[in-house]
Amino acid sequence: MRVLPDTNIFIDYWEDRNGIADELENIFTEEEIVVCGAVKAELLHGAVSDKHLKSMEAMLDAFEAINPEEEDWQLLGENLYKLRTHGVTVPLADAIIATVAVRNRIAVWTNDHHFKLMQGVLSDLEIRS
């Protein structure tokens, strides 16, 4: 099963938040992990040094990249419209991640509450937490 980890999953793993790095590592090695540009950009934005940036780039490059295609931008706009008309406001990066996941039939692995909000409107959004 292909899984698209959200930014918070990578951060939890790297920082070993709540002592769960081993558990997350098992999932990283057992599942087919993919990344998208929005997650890469968010993670690289948080780099604290050139060395840290290069290390993150190398790690992220090890995963298959799934990114929006031209027609996905229209789908993203439609999804944002649906969310807005249902009173749901989320960061653009989260909406991009959700749209990429839905379009490619990939589960988003996240602990971010924005995805649960989106799932209430975008019924094809699969979440793994």
Q: Which residues pair with 32 in a beta bridge?
A: 2
In the chain, count H helices and then E strands. Answer: 7, 5
What Å distances lie between residue 97 and 70, 93, 122, CA to CA? Answer: 15, 6, 13
Nearest-angstrom CA–CA distance, 95 and 129: 17
Number of domains in the chain: 1
CATH for 28:
3.40.50.1010
Q: What is the pLDDT of residue 21?
A: 63
The parent domain of residue 40 ranges over 2-128
Q: How confident is the prediction along the chain (129 residues), in pLDDT tens digits per residue? A: 799 999 999 888 887 766 666 666 777 778 889 999 999 999 999 999 999 999 999 989 989 999 999 999 999 999 999 999 999 999 999 999 999 999 999 999 999 999 999 999 999 999 998
Q: What is the pTM of this model?
A: 0.90
